[in-house]
Amino acid sequence: MALSEVFQTTFFLTLLSLRTYQSEVLAEHLPLTPVSLNVSSNSAHQSLHLQWTVQNLLYHQELKMVFQIQISRIETSNVIWVGNYSTTVKWNQVLHWSWESELPLECATHFVRIKSAVDDARFHEPNFWSNWSSWEEVNVQDSLGQDILFVFPKDKLVEEGANVTICYVSRNIQNNVSCYWEGKQIYGEQLDPHVSVFHLSSVPFIRKTGADVYCEVSQGSVSKGIKGIVLFVSKVLEEPKDFSCETQDFKTLHCTWDPGVDTALGWSKQPSQSYTLFESFSGEKKLCTHKNWCNWQITQDSQETYNLTLIAENYLRKRSVNILFNLTHRVYPMNPFSVNFENVNATNAKMTWKVHSMKKDFTYLCQIELYGEGKMMQYNVSIKVNGEYFLSELEPATEYMAQVRCADASHFRKWSQWSGQNFTTLEAAPSEAPDVWRNVNSEPGSHIVTLFWKPLSKWHAKGKILFYNVVVENLDKLSRPELHSVPAPAKITKLTLDQRSYRIWVTASNSVGTSPASVIVISADPENQEVEEERIADTEGGFSLSWKPQPGDVVGYVVDWCDHPQYTLCDLQWKNVGPNATSTVISTDAFRPGVRYNFRIYGLSTKRIACLLEKKTGYSQELAPSDNPHVLVDKLTSHSFTLSWKYYSTESQPGFIQGYHVYLKSKARQCHPRFEKAILSDGSECCKYKIDNPEEKALIVDNLKPKSFYEFFVTPFTSAGEGPNATFTKVTTPDEHSSMLIYILLPMFFCFLLIMIVCYLKSQWIKETCYPDIPDPYKSSILSLIKFKEKPHLTIMNVSDCIPDAIEVVSKPEGTKIQFRKSLTETELTKPNYLYLLPTEKNYSGPGPFICFENLTYNQAASDSGSCGHVPVPLKLPPSQLGLMISPENVQKALEKNYMNSLGEISAGETSLNYVSQLALPMSGDKDSLPTNPVEPPHCSEYKRQMAVPLCLASPSPTENTSLSSITLLNPGEHYH
């Protein structure tokens, strides 16, 4: 049996050797020529596809052969490409090969031929090429149609940066054709009378929908049509970056990469690139559905090493990247979960969390980060399944954020994502006393104390401060301390204290407890406010303050100031300095240029009594004055005037006022003594005088000329410059003589004004003295002396109640009518007819002559007559005439008639009333009888009362020579007047 097997094996080997020998002999002596060459074109890809077979190849024979291919364009002699194609050829096998043309196939006729040679290692002799096959012609133009113009290639797809050849085919050689690339004309070369070629080098990516190429055909100036194509330019496919794979559960590999630029084009010309995972050890392949990640399922066998290749591919190109790794070194743990905090108090907390289970004996390395109060603390711990960590030395009433992440402790690759949670520790009692300061304002009998304190820092407050306790203790009088509770977040309170010494405690309280107390003592003596103020300059780091060390026990110093001194609520600030310090620097962002800051330096004694030591003032940056003074011109003379601005405030300026500049202009353009020439900002010349004393707010400008025109302008200056520009004020000096006239007229004017004021104040006295009011008879006081029998309550005196002792008769010419209230101004008076002198008889022994006043207001007839006279009557009259004159009934009738007609007209020949003086009235007796003992008439100056008598009681009418007569009736034995 064994011998038979050996024989069979030997037979087959001999037969195989024989066949090989026959092949070699045939190959050496028989030409292996390509036959049945067929060439086809693909216009979409602008390529030629060749297929052929090899003649004289034995059955089941396989040879390695090389084929040389020649391609010509337009003519067979115009060879444009020669290349070799090597492959293994079998018996009766149809071979295929493609060639892509840069020039569109429609633009020219192509010719193809091929020859072959054996390229097998089994043949040691030199190979001989076979004969060329016949030329195969490819002409695509015959199938174009009858349009007058064609442009190629159609919808070609190329990569960015590629070179592209474009051509057009024109049916009429007389047509003029112009071609454009994205609106810009391009120029090419002519292949034949009908075809022109254009070469575009390094075409750029323009848009996903492609770039436009079009050609316009025209004859003369007439357009015959436009033909065009769309050239699709794709972004270059990039190799995937950052390709990495890892597992979180040893069941799935999660691979990620950066795909780079997307090569997709519009109109579905090219989709986005595709990605494929290929594992070389297992030979498995997976097409990825996402652009930047893909999951690979891990088999449950013992494979630990993986060789993964990521292939990126689009229509134009293919790119790949490869990684080789051990699975246990590619562990990326999942995030911890269920993070909690237990047993949280003011300073400690316990943190717990859980992790996902992995394979057996897997150990996690976990990292904890704790954030709070601007700090970060880090801790590491190794766990299997569940983790916990004790957090200590925490701050009370503080919110913390704790987070944890884990990694493979054996083969560390990367941390998982963070998992965290916030927690807040509990409150504790405040650990530090508030920083307290005070401001004391002394008033009569009391001190107004304003307490300030700074809020405790979160580190010292240990929680939310609810209120501040202020305890006031009287040190000079035994009394119960007063407690004032100030709710937070207030930082200030006011106390009104009498002029005794007080100790004040201030504490801060939260929900747990109270802080230590800050103590400050208010002395009964008022503060020393007479400290001289010193000017200081700001440096780049702030205000540098220094003071003299104080003898005795000083526990420290306090410097206070206002951040906003220009406001009512100035925001008082203070800084505590140690007892051994004699200087400090005050710096804050609140300081502003042009604002004056005042600093007070206090020393604190061991009894916590503050004593004012020094005052400083300065500017963080001095600025030029913000305004100019309002200047008044005073004492203007022909040779000088005075400028004053005494109400100008220097304290409110944005810098220390160092003085003033006085600018003066005149037509003479000559500077007066003490002035110097200066050039203004507008280029004009003037004279300038500098005042170096800021408290000197007046200037006498002298040596001026009379009747001259001057202009002046006053501006302050600081170390930063002068005040703002303003207009000049004009002033003209007066004439020399005009000033003397003013000195004369002004006193006269003031004297006249004084007289007018005195006359106005004494106007009532002048009126009463020069023109008193006319007395009203109805308001006469004589009514009170008459005793009425029948009508005791009558206030108006009747005619029957009055017994006249003198009658004045006024006669009027007949045939005239007289208006009772005729004005005196209608009659021209040639002499004062209301004043006349009554003469006396030679043998009259009574008083001498006297003056009588006649009231013209009531003596209407006398006023109209224009004259007043007295007619003497006999001493003794007939009884009948006397009775007529003195009869009470006649008097009463006349008076009543006159009274009733007082507002009407009086006929000529009638008598009217005349108002005359009355000497006296009888004190007793009957009013119907004459007095037996008449009273002697006193002087006119002693007349006290007046009465009205009817004129009808007078004697007969006067003669023609007399227009007015007055008759005085006297008792027998008396003289007449």
Nearest to 812 by CA among 963, 968, 965, 966: 963
**Pairing of the two strands 157-159 and 222-234:** parallel
Helix (H/G/I), strand (E/B), else coil: 9: helix
Q: At what angle do helices 736-761 and 763-770 cross, to 10 degrees?
A: 60
pLDDT, one tens digit per residue, over 619-670 is 988 999 999 999 999 888 888 899 999 989 888 899 999 999 999 988 877 8
Q: How is 715-727 classified by DSSP, letter by letter?
A: EEEETTEE----P
What one-letter code names the amino acid at 757?
A: I
Question: Are the C-beta atoms of residues 858 and 821 closer than 8 Å to each other?
Answer: no
CA distance 581 to 545: 11
- pLDDT score at 813: 46
pLDDT, one tens digit per residue, over 29-76 is 456 889 999 999 998 888 999 999 998 887 777 889 999 999 999 999
CA distance 461 to 455: 8
CA distance 212 to 181: 6
Contacts of residue 73, Cβ cutoff 8 Å, sequence gap at least 6: 80, 103, 108, 109, 110, 111
For 124-141, letters b (16+ CB in 10 Å) and e give eeeeeebeebeebebebe
CA distance 623 to 656: 9
**Pairing of the two strands 482-487 and 467-474:** antiparallel
Going from the C-alpha of 539 to that of each of 19, 254, 598, 618, the distances in angstroms are 110, 64, 16, 11
Q: What is the rounded average pLDDT of the residues 934-951? A: 41
CA neighbours closer than 13 Å in the CB half-sphere of residue 303 = 16
Q: How is 291-345 classified by DSSP, letter by letter?
A: SSEEEEEPPSSS--EEEEEEEEE-SS-EEEEEEEEEGGG-B-PPPPEEEEEES--
Alpha carbon of residue 819 to chain centroid: 87
Compute φ and ψ for 769, nearest 5 degrees. -80, -45
Least trusted range by pLDDT, from 138-142, 340-344, 597-601, 822-826: 822-826
Predicted confidence (pLDDT) at residue 388 exceeds the cutoff of 90: yes
Question: Are the C-beta atoms of residues 646 and 697 closer than 8 Å to each other?
Answer: yes
Question: What is the rounded radius of gyration, in angstroms, for the C-alpha atoms of the chain?
Answer: 69
Counting every residue written for the chain, the total comes to 977
- pLDDT score at 321: 96
Neighbours of 292 (CB within 10 A): 14
Q: What is the rounded average pLDDT of the residues 275-280? A: 95
- pLDDT score at 417: 95
Least trusted range by pLDDT, from 106-110, 186-190, 509-513, 830-834: 830-834
Residue with tokens 């990640």: 293
Task: Give the residue with greater pLDDT, 128 vs 931.
Answer: 128
Nearest-10 Cα torsion for 19, 23, 26, 32: 150
Question: Are the C-beta atoms of residues 109 and 83 closer than 8 Å to each other?
Answer: no
Burial (CB count within 10 angstroms: exposed 0-12, middle 13-18, buried 19+), residue 937: buried
CA distance 303 to 324: 13
pLDDT, one tens digit per residue, over 210-258 is 999 999 999 888 888 899 999 999 999 999 999 999 999 888 999 999 9
Neighbours of 353 (CB within 10 A): 24
Q: What is the rounded average pLDDT of the residues 487-503? A: 93
Nearest to 230 by CA among 214, 216, 215, 212: 212
Q: What is the rounded average pLDDT of the residues 477-486? A: 92
**Pairing of the two strands 386-391 and 349-354:** antiparallel
Predicted confidence (pLDDT) at residue 714 exceeds the cutoff of 50: yes
Nearest to 912 by CA among 947, 867, 953, 871: 953
CA distance 453 to 515: 13
Neighbours of 294 (CB within 10 A): 21
> Could you tell me the two tokens for 537?
């300059």
Task: Give the residue with greater pLDDT, 934 vs 577.
Answer: 577
Task: Select, from the ranges 265-274, 776-785, 811-820, 873-882, the one with the highest average predicted confidence (pLDDT).
Answer: 265-274
Compute φ and ψ for 276, nearest 5 degrees. -135, 135
CA distance 229 to 182: 11
**Pairing of the two strands 284-288 and 274-279:** antiparallel
List alpha helices for 67-161, DSSP H: none
What domains can you pick out in the chain, each with its CATH number?
Answer: 30-142 (2.60.40.10), 145-234 (2.60.40.10), 241-330 (2.60.40.10), 337-425 (2.60.40.10), 436-619 (2.60.40.10), 632-733 (2.60.40.10)
Q: What is the rounded average pLDDT of the residues 687-703? A: 91
Percentage, residues of the chain above pLDDT 90: 48
Contacts of residue 921, Cβ cutoff 8 Å, sequence gap at least 6: 782, 785, 786, 802, 803, 945
Contacts of residue 634, Cβ cutoff 8 Å, sequence gap at least 6: 641, 642, 643, 644
Nearest to 158 by CA among 275, 315, 339: 315
pLDDT, one tens digit per residue, over 798-853 is 555 555 555 555 544 444 333 333 333 333 333 444 444 444 444 444 444 444 44
Predicted confidence (pLDDT) at residue 82 exceeds the cutoff of 60: yes
CA distance 247 to 753: 115
Nearest to 699 by CA among 714, 681, 686, 710: 714
Alpha carbon of residue 512 to chain centroid: 44
The CA angle 674-677-683, to the nearest 5 degrees, is 150
Going from the C-alpha of 183 to that of each of 154, 178, 215, 312, 690, the distances in angstroms are 18, 11, 10, 35, 77
Question: Are the C-beta atoms of residues 596 and 651 closer than 8 Å to each other?
Answer: yes
Going from the C-alpha of 20 to that of each of 13, 25, 122, the distances in angstroms are 11, 9, 10
The CA angle 202-208-214, to the nearest 5 degrees, is 65
When the pLDDT of each residue in the chain is averaged and rounded to a whole number, the result is 79
- pLDDT score at 122: 78
What one-letter code names the amino acid at 638?
A: S
- pLDDT score at 746: 82
List alpha helices for 856-962, DSSP H: 860-865, 879-886, 888-900
Q: What is the rounded average pLDDT of the residues 676-682? A: 85
Predicted confidence (pLDDT) at residue 603 exceeds the cutoff of 60: yes
The CA angle 805-806-809, to the nearest 5 degrees, is 145
Q: How is 653-708 classified by DSSP, letter by letter?
A: SSS---EEEEEEEETT--PPTT-EEEE-TTS-EEEEEEE--TT--EEEE-SPPTT-
- pLDDT score at 969: 37
Q: What is the rounded average pLDDT of the residues 438-450? A: 89
Q: In what order do the strands lie in the sheet with 195-200?
A: 149-152, 164-170, 195-200, 189-192
Task: Note the pTM of the prediction, 2 decimals.
Answer: 0.49
CA distance 913 to 694: 88
Q: What is the rounded average pLDDT of the residues 445-461? A: 91
For the chain, helix (H) and strand (E) counts, in that order, are 7, 59
Nearest-10 Cα torsion for 875, 878, 880, 885: -10
Question: Are the C-beta atoms of residues 190 and 170 closer than 8 Å to each other?
Answer: no
